[in-house]
Amino acid sequence: MGAEPRCMQIYSQLAHIIKMQSLAVISFAVVLLGVFQRGTAIDENGVIEGVLKRILEDLLDSRIQVKELDASSIKDPAPTALTECIGDTSLIGLGRTFRRFDDDGSKSIEFEEFLKGLVQYGCQIGFNQSGAKQLFDSLNNGKEKLSFDDFVEGIPEPLSDEKKESVIRTFKKADSNHDGVLTLNDDMISERVFKNMDEDNNGEVNIQDFANYCKMIYPWVSDEHFDFFLRNMVKSI
């Protein structure tokens, strides 16, 4: 059998195995490639060397070559009808908006106040009473008045660049095998916490899943407190 057909046959047999790509696989391939290159690559050895080179090329071009994580790796929440018009969705900005909606200073917002506030902000939904009522009910779970806590919880929280950097640093620390995702094979991840992070139950947690989890357990805190909590997070998860 010629070297090229033999090489492709061996490669095909390994194709299923290398779907389970990991640093262990690439390390193994590197070691074997070094062994063959130190000798005389003829016949079978030459075939195997070609296979190993092909494996390394595929691995490095795909999963093992993980994209460098930065702030752009974490997507901000999609804007809603409310966030598009109120603009500032920081905690301070939401407090300012809430007080503007709260005409009578009662620390709660009735629907009439909410509707008026939407119009003042130029929200298109404010001119549709039915749509505004649906939005109001979704924020306060059908109660007659909207509290500040309900108002804040109903607004998707964007992460500042500083918080995104904290998330990325913690994610990299938890990703013990450096493959760009968290799994139960990572030493620092408990099964209980992993299940909470794995939003789509696919057995992997990417940087977006991890960011959403961090935001859920430490909502609306300052950048400094968020960073402090995450620095201690890996020790406990």
For residue range 50-71, what is the model confidence (pLDDT) as tens digits? Answer: 666 666 665 555 444 456 788 8
- Greatest Cα-to-Cα distance within the chain, rounded to the nearest angstrom: 89
Cβ distance 205 to 194 under 8 Å?
yes
Position 148 scores a pLDDT of 93
Q: For all residues of the chain together, what is the average pLDDT?
A: 79
- For the record, the structure tokens of 59 come out as 């691995």
Three-class SS state of 147: strand
What domains lie within the chain, and their CATH numbers?
Answer: 3-61 (no CATH), 83-153 (1.10.238.10), 159-236 (1.10.238.10)
Mean pLDDT of the 138-159 span: 87
pLDDT surpassing 70 at residue 3: no
Q: How remote is the C-alpha of 92 from its chain's centroid?
A: 25
pTM of the model: 0.60
**Helices (runs of H) and strands (runs of E) counted in the chain:** 13, 2
Cβ distance 84 to 163 under 8 Å?
no
